[in-house]
Structure 1
Amino acid sequence: MPDSPDLLVIGECVADIVRLPGAPDRTHPRGSPANVAYGLAGLGRSTTLITQLGPDPDGRLIAEHLASAGVRVLDDGSGAPTPTATVDLDEAGRATYTFEIGWTLGTVAWSGEPPRHVHTGSLATALDPGADTVLDLVESLRPAATVSYDPNVRPALMGDHARAVRRAERWAALSDIVKASDEDLRWLYPDDTSETAAERWLRSGPAVVLVTRGAGGATAFLPGGTVGADAPPVRVVDTVGAGDAFMSAALHALASYGLLGGRARARLRSLDATVLGDVLRHAVASAAVTVGRAGALPPDEEELAAALTGVPVRERQTLQGCPRPHHDR
């Protein structure tokens, strides 16, 4: 294998068939983890994606798309069809999904030095039997790498609700950085506020829990406080890939501060509010660029730098009942 990447992403690629009112269908290379990998590579990060691509036109389309950003793709070689999803966009650009997805990721041998950071989530951590393969691989890499997780809930594919919650909680406890939308948390915990749900996850072990709120910006929960960033005004074209653009920019900013990697875990668990505010600014600005144009197209370095103006950071607030975990997982 070539030199190990700064960042490893594990998860599905999906060929999205986009349907707009009054327009012909269009096929786009997507999938939440693939979007994150694409965004990271576009921001100059050495990135590898472990995934499952079929020997079909959709698989070739996605492979070419990822290669265009510099993502190295490790396919499990199973020959399973490339997953597809139909994305129906309404006149406001809001997306609803219909999936035809199987996730049977086989074992992908890892050799050489481990990556500094591993990101996963979405269907790759929710669908059997591939979810078990992902869990085993992340656990094997975790001693040397920090871990991030985004549940990216797709209710139609999550199966039994109680089991989905248990699985999400296991991943949250395994991770150093967790990102979820307020919609994800409402589905997982319908009787709780997103704040209560984020605090529960924070107590289980992560250094920080990031909650996105669409036009309401984002809030980062860490032991003892929160940091918030407001979303800049933007004309929304569509919301596809906004959360993935947020995630890739957050990881990019954390890497710039030297806060990724097993050796940086202690520093990550002592995050300064000013640093975390800057991380949020990068993430929110990236999402704003993405929703302002069609498709899951996150900004590159130049575009992100230009978008960073006008994203204020709110004052840090004190939280009650969120002590730092006693264990350093």
Structure 2
Amino acid sequence: MSPQPAGRTVTVLGECVADVFSGPPTGAGPGAGPDALTLRALPGGGPANTAVALARLGTPTRFAGRLSRDVFGDLFRTRLARSGVDLSACVTAAEASTLALADVREGGQATYSFHAEGTADWQWSDRELAAATTGGGVCLHTGSLALVREPGGPRVEEHLAAARPHTTISLDPNVRPLLVEPAVYRGRLARWCGLADILRLSEEDLAHLLPGTDPAEACDTLHAAGAPLVVVTLGERGALLSLDGVRTTVPGRPVRVADTVGAGDSFTAGFLHHLATLGRLGGRLDGLTLDEAADAAAYAALVAAHTCRTPGADPPWSHDLSPRRA
């Protein structure tokens, strides 16, 4: 896909991960016996999911990632491009792709084991990042493992600081304790708050980052560290928003859940998309009102609910959210 106009574009920086789902063997022939296991790989990764959802909603979106030459890298490229994402900021990497083995339990909640050592996503060089984040458009969104995995994490932080004077910064910590100790996230949280205009966290993230702190009190702590807009997603209960300490909540959308994979990423995409349509991205959220933020969160909850309807991270297209289909 050709590069999109920087003045309207949201750049998403981070990883692509293959979500591998297990199931019983099917059919006949080799590998069909009781000692076999069927694996189904779907493209995922928090930042990549957010980029896909943003583009499908109609926001010009550029993805900055390191995509392997392996079969999973091809899968990632196909999904991003078919969703309308601009891949001009991507690096073709020699390393293997990151894999996450997903175990989906009753109720649709997924847990993961990761295969991520030495994989493509974390090997950013300063030169690659400088090229990827140049002309970042109205917003630069990142988070998840890209911020904490070595050697790239500290370099990503440095480039966020360099981009901040020119663009809105959105962060989603998306804590993955199986891969990185929560203490590593906690040690960097204050710096992230100083960089971020928008900090989106789940209730589970808060339990790791600020143990024993209720969401409202956590918002005050994050504001004091520098984040002006904090959004805490509460699953089916909706979301809590805090804009410079003034708070409101929005309800969730009832939905029959296939699984929750990618729901938080879709929420972030819906939130940024709505703010972009209001013209609120591009700076320090000057003029944003709490009512506008609440409207954005209500729309984001709708996008997340649609994502929960289908297996894997398969966010809706804008036409899926028409009044007749919502």
SS at 1:77 equivalent: strand
1:130 equivalent in structure 2: 152
Measure how far apart 1:112 and its partner are.
Answer: 6.2
More displaced 10-residue stretch of structure 1: 126-135 or 7-16: 126-135
Structure 1 stretches of 4+ with a deviation exceeding 6 A read none
Kindly indicate whether residue 183 of structure 2 is the aligned counterpart of residue 162 of structure 1: yes
Structure 1 CA distance for aligned equivalents of residues 25 and 289 of structure 2: 49
Amino acid at match of 1:72: D
Q: Give the counterpart of 2:169 among 135, 143, 147.
A: 147
Task: Give me the TM-score of the superposition, normalised by structure 2.
Answer: 0.88
Q: Give the counterpart of 1:291 among 304, 308, 312.
A: 308
Structure 2 CA distance for aligned equivalents of residues 222 and 273 of structure 1: 6
Kindly indicate whether residue 237 of structure 2 is the aligned counterpart of residue 216 of structure 1: yes
Measure how far apart 1:307 and its partner are.
Answer: 8.2
More displaced 10-residue stretch of structure 1: 42-51 or 221-230: 221-230
Structure 2 CA distance for aligned equivalents of residues 111 and 25 of structure 1: 35
SS at 1:275 equivalent: helix
Q: Is the 8 A contact 1:286 1:307 kept in 2?
A: no
Q: Give the length in aligned residue pairs.
A: 304
1:318 equivalent in structure 2: none
Q: Give the counterpart of 1:255 among 251, 276, 282.
A: 276
1:100 equivalent in structure 2: 115
1:322 equivalent in structure 2: none
Tell me how large the CA RMSD over aligned residues is: 2.0
Q: Give the counterpart of 1:189 among 195, 202, 210.
A: 210
Q: Give the counterpart of 2:319 among 302, 305, 311.
A: 302
Structure 2 CA distance for aligned equivalents of residues 285 and 113 of structure 1: 31
Structure 2 CA distance for aligned equivalents of residues 54 and 191 of structure 1: 40
Change (3 A) 1:287 1:22: farther
Which sections of structure 2, spanning at least 5 residues, go unmatched? 27-37
Kindly indicate whether residue 21 of structure 2 is the aligned counterpart of residue 18 of structure 1: yes
Kindly indicate whether residue 102 of structure 2 is the aligned counterpart of residue 87 of structure 1: yes
Structure 1 CA distance for aligned equivalents of residues 276 and 247 of structure 2: 21
Which sections of structure 1, spanning at least 5 residues, go unmatched? 310-329
SS at 1:276 equivalent: helix
2:12 equivalent in structure 1: 9
1:54 equivalent in structure 2: 68
Structure 2 CA distance for aligned equivalents of residues 29 and 296 of structure 1: 8
Q: Is the 8 A contact 1:281 1:308 kept in 2?
A: no
SS at 2:93 equivalent: coil
Structure 1 CA distance for aligned equivalents of residues 24 and 262 of structure 2: 20
Structure 2 CA distance for aligned equivalents of residues 16 and 226 of structure 1: 35
Amino acid at match of 1:272: T
1:203 equivalent in structure 2: 224
Q: Is the 8 A contact 1:285 1:307 kept in 2?
A: no
Structure 1 CA distance for aligned equivalents of residues 253 and 184 of structure 2: 37
Structure 1 CA distance for aligned equivalents of residues 325 and 212 of structure 2: 35
Structure 2 CA distance for aligned equivalents of residues 135 and 225 of structure 1: 28
Deviations 1:145-169 (CA, angstroms, capped at 9, x unpaired): 000000011111123x433202122
Q: Is the 8 A contact 1:11 1:51 kept in 2?
A: yes
Amino acid at match of 1:120: T
Structure 2 CA distance for aligned equivalents of residues 244 and 292 of structure 1: 14
Q: Give the counterpart of 2:77 among 60, 63, 76.
A: 63
Amino acid at match of 2:308: V
Q: Is the 8 A contact 2:197 2:227 kept in 1?
A: yes
Q: Is the 8 A contact 2:133 2:163 kept in 1?
A: no
Measure how far apart 1:78 and its partner are.
Answer: 3.4
Q: Is the 8 A contact 1:76 1:105 kept in 2?
A: no
More displaced 10-residue stretch of structure 1: 199-208 or 33-42: 199-208
Change (3 A) 1:224 1:92: closer
More displaced 10-residue stretch of structure 1: 55-64 or 12-21: 12-21
Task: Give me the TM-score of the superposition, normalised by structure 1.
Answer: 0.87
Structure 1 CA distance for aligned equivalents of residues 209 and 325 of structure 2: 32
Kindly indicate whether residue 298 of structure 2 is the aligned counterpart of residue 277 of structure 1: no
Q: Is the 8 A contact 1:52 1:82 kept in 2?
A: no
Percent of aligned positions with the same letter in both sequences? 38
Q: Is the 8 A contact 2:175 2:185 kept in 1?
A: no
1:30 equivalent in structure 2: 44
1:76 equivalent in structure 2: 91
Structure 2 CA distance for aligned equivalents of residues 80 and 48 of structure 1: 22
Q: Is the 8 A contact 1:78 1:105 kept in 2?
A: no
